[in-house]
């Protein structure tokens, strides 16, 4: 098989998807990590050359490249999903007759997976942007990111679940093994999408769960690692399941949730996950909803083999998004991952062996709680000499008042938006009407206070 759509460097392609290092037109250095350097190719804008710092067994890399070819034959739709959402290697770069690979040719992440800060420079849209208070990211980088529990965030988790379903559902099953913030890019340009990079870290697993290739150390990134994996050991099939649950927790909840240290100490972890009031009454998000058991089982270190698979995640997230009225989000994910028209959705089939009713293992508990205003307020600080600023103490009450005023404004806006949504939701008109009446009283009271302030304070200044 020839390297797809080849020219230039592609002339060097061999029939078995292999290219000699000396025939590549290697361009500028794009990035450097612990395991390799990524270069542009002067004659291929859609591919990059990942050069390994320490050469890797060629056979393991060949197996990865061939895996997607096999899936293309057996299940073209799943292969399309993998191609659209990952930088899956397209060719092995050989260096002479050695059994070692010098690197890989991998697709370059499309432009939509980049963000621009205030300085205008493009940067990879890593998950790090989504794992903290969106207010901080707005103040720091000028980015308008969706709030916690927004369908867009759920859609990103859903897109990742569908990709992992395609990887893990194939034979042999593929497990990335290092789904860290830096390795999962995201975009909302065409609806929620993910793009997983560093796929050379992937291992293929046979039907009995043993790795197809051996002897390759596959480290996980600290803070995104699976605490069930012993130090020095490589992640297994269940580690991607842990990563999916952790990514859901951190990006949908928009917070750090640093739980691994507790888990390594053998502590029981109880997680308070903030869900807005209206959504907490939906069957898919209330206290007994399957979603919370799914997260708890996914994060469990007591029974890693019982962690829910990506198909189960897809199924549950579809229910959540549907109940939130975000069916458009589902259609956008399907369209982006399989290139199908919006009118022809391909929903995930129910999981092969539904295990939603399974009891949680008991080492992780997740419960939905009411959101509380975050204590930290963010704004761009014009740097100044701290010892020249004596007004800090006096300014503190003003800052607190301003913060609470902002909270009140945000509450007002969210309450009205929720009321309107409820009012137009099928079967929930009565609840919407009740909210509308309540908000009418609130708005009337606000109008009275405003009128009073104008009459007592502003009017005298105007001589009225």
Partner 1 sequence: MPSESVGVEERYAVFPFYLCLDVSASMAGEPIEGVNRQLPALRAAIGEDPAIAEVIRFGVVTFSDVARTVLALCDLSVVDEVPAVTTGGRTSYGVAFDHLRRTIEADYQNSRAAGDRWYRPAVVFISDGQPTDDPATWRAAHARLVDPGWKRHPNILAFGFGSADAGVLAEVSERKANRAFIADEGAEPAKVVPELMAGLISSIVSSSASVYGGAAQLVPPDVASMTAIPVDHLD
Element (H, E) at 37: strand 36-41
Q: Is 163 helix (H, G, I), strand (E, B) or coil?
A: helix
Options 69, 267, 344, 443; binder of partner 1; rule CB under 8 A: 267
Residue 184, strand partner residues: 196
223 near partner 1, rule: CB under 8 A: yes
Q: How far apart are CA 129 and CA 111, in angstroms?
A: 17
Nearest distance in Å: CB 277, partner 1? 16
Between residues 100 and 140, which has the closer beta carbon with respect to partner 1?
140
Query: How far is the first Cα of the chain from the last one, in angstroms, to the nearest whole number?
Result: 86
Specify whether the CB–CB gap between 71 and 82 falls below 8 A.
yes
In the complex, the smallest distance separating the C-beta of residue 187 from partner 1, rounded to whole angstroms, is 16
The torsion defined by the Cα of 260, 264, 268 and 271, in degrees rounded to 10, comes to 0
Choice between 49 and 129, CB closer to partner 1: 129
Q: Does 381 bind partner 1 (CB under 8 A)?
A: yes
Longest dimension (CA), the chain: 93
Q: Is residue 208 within the footprint of partner 1 (CB under 8 A)? A: no
Give the shortest CB-223-to-partner 1 separation in angstroms. Answer: 4
- Say whether residue 369 binds partner 1 (CB under 8 A): yes
Q: Which stretch binds partner 1 (CB under 8 A): 15-23, 161-169, 326-334, 375-383?
A: 375-383
Write down the least CB distance from residue 119 to partner 1, Å: 7
- CB 190 within 8 Å of CB 181: no
Residue with Cβ nearer partner 1 (62 or 374)? 374
Decide the pairing of beta strands 91-94 and 18-20.
parallel
- Indicate the burial class of 455 (C-beta count within 10 angstroms; 0-12, 13-18, 19 or more): exposed
- Give the dihedral sign, CA 122/123/127/129: negative
Is residue 255 near partner 1 by the rule CB under 8 A? yes
CB of 374 to partner 1, least distance (A): 7
Place of tokens 């938006």: 417
Q: Is 259 in the site for partner 1 (CB under 8 A)?
A: yes
Q: How far is the CB of 290 from partner 1 (least distance, A)?
A: 21
Does 296 engage in binding with partner 1 (CB under 8 A)?
A: no
Residue written as token pair 């509450």: 411
Tell me which residues in 111-140 interact with partner 1 (CB under 8 A): 117, 119, 121, 123, 126, 128-129, 132-133, 136-137, 139-140
Q: Does 270 bind partner 1 (CB under 8 A)?
A: yes
* Residues in a beta bridge with 50: 38, 104
- Residues in contact with partner 1 by the rule CB under 8 A: 117, 119, 121, 123, 126, 128-129, 132-133, 136-137, 139-141, 148, 181-182, 221-223, 253-262, 265-272, 274, 369, 372, 374-376, 378-387
């Amino acid at each position: 098989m020839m390297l797809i759509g080849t020219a230039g460097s592609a002339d060097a392609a061999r029939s078995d998807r292999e290219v000699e290092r000396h025939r590549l037109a290697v361009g500028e250095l794009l990035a450097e990590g612990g395991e390799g350097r990524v270069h542009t190719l002067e004659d291929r804008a859609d591919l990059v050359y990942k050069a390994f710092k320490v050469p890797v067994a060629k056979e393991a890399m060949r197996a990865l490249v061939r895996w997607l070819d096999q899936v293309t034959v057996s299940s073209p739709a799943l292969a399309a999903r993998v191609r659209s959402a990952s930088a899956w290697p397209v060719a092995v770069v050989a260096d002479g007759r050695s059994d070692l690979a010098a690197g890989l040719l991998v697709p370059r992440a499309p432009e939509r997976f980049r963000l621009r800060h205030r300085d205008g420079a493009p940067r990879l849209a890593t998950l790090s942007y989504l794992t903290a208070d969106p207010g901080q990211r707005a103040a720091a980088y000028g980015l308008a990111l969706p709030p916690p529990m927004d369908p867009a965030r759920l859609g990103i988790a859903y897109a990742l679940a569908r990709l992992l379903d395609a990887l893990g559902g194939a034979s042999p099953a593929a497990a990335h093994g290092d789904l860290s913030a830096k390795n999962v890019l995201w975009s909302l340009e065409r609806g929620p999408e993910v793009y997983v990079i560093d796929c050379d870290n992937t291992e293929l697993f046979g039907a009995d769960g043993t790795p197809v290739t051996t002897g390759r150390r596959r480290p996980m990134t600290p803070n995104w690692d699976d605490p069930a994996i012993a130090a020095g050991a490589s992640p297994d099939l269940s580690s991607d399941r842990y990563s999916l649950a952790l990514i859901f927790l951190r990006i949908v909840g928009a917070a750090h949730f640093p739980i691994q240290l507790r888990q390594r100490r053998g502590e029981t972890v109880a997680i308070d996950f903030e869900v807005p009031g209206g959504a907490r009454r939906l069957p898919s998000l209330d206290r007994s909803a399957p979603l919370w058991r799914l997260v708890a089982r996914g994060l469990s270190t007591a029974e890693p083999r019982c962690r829910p698979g990506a198909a189960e995640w897809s199924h549950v997230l579809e229910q959540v998004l549907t109940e939130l009225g975000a069916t458009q989000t589902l259609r956008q994910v399907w369209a982006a991952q399989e290139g199908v028209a919006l009118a022809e959705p391909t929903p995930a089939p129910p999981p092969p062996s539904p295990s939603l009713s399974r009891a949680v293992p008991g080492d992780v508990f997740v419960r939905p709680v009411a959101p509380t205003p975050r204590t930290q307020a963010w704004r761009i600080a014009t740097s100044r000499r701290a010892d020249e600023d004596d007004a800090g103490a006096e300014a503190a009450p003003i800052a607190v008042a301003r913060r609470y005023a902002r909270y009140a404004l945000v509450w007002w806006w969210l309450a009205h938006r929720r009321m309107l949504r409820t009012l137009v939701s099928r079967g929930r008109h009565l609840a919407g009407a009740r909210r509308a009446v309540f908000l009418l009283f609130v708005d009337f009271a606000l109008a009275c206070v405003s009128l009073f302030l104008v009459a007592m304070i502003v009017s005298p200044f105007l001589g009225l």
